[in-house]
Amino acid sequence: MASTTSKKSRKGLAIGLAILGVAGLSLASASALNLTGTPQLQAGVINVAGCQSSSIAVAFATPTISGGVYQSANVTLTSFDAACTTAAAKFKVAFLDSTGAVVQETTAASVTTGVATVPLTTATAANVSKVAVTVFN
């Protein structure tokens, strides 16, 4: 009985070694792959202190009637800091509804003076709950 048990354990050990050998060969062949391309890795930290330190005031234009609905044609942003005009900064505006969904977003525009006027095209003052302004270089 002892010889039958040792034959089974030797057989199991041989199968286990064969599986390990096949796994080792596949790992060895994967390490021999030749990859091409220019390897590049970059990491860094930058101070994101911007040119705008004061609050930007947002004011909707006086509404006019259009198609039976009073609505503002544009929004005026005031109080851009002079440092932003000097730095040739740009800004974008996103108009958000009460759920936080964007109802209109502008393309980037340059801060040329302390005041900017943004037309309301797809958004109306009635469906705008928040105005997000981003100033960047």
Whole-number pLDDT of residue 101: 93
Percentage of residues of the chain with pLDDT beyond 90: 35
Give φ, ψ of 104 to 5 degrees. -160, 140
CA angle, 104 then 130 then 48, to 5°: 90
* CA 52 to the chain's CA centroid: 21
In the chain, where are the structural domains located? 57-136
For residue 120, count other CB atoms closer than 10 A to its CB.
19
Per the model's pLDDT, the better-predicted residue between 58 and 11 turns out to be 58
The confidence score (pLDDT) of residue 38 equals: 77
State pTM to two decimals. 0.61
The two structure tokens encoding residue 83: 């440092």
Strands (E) in 24-81, as ranges, are 57-60, 64-66, 69-71, 74-78
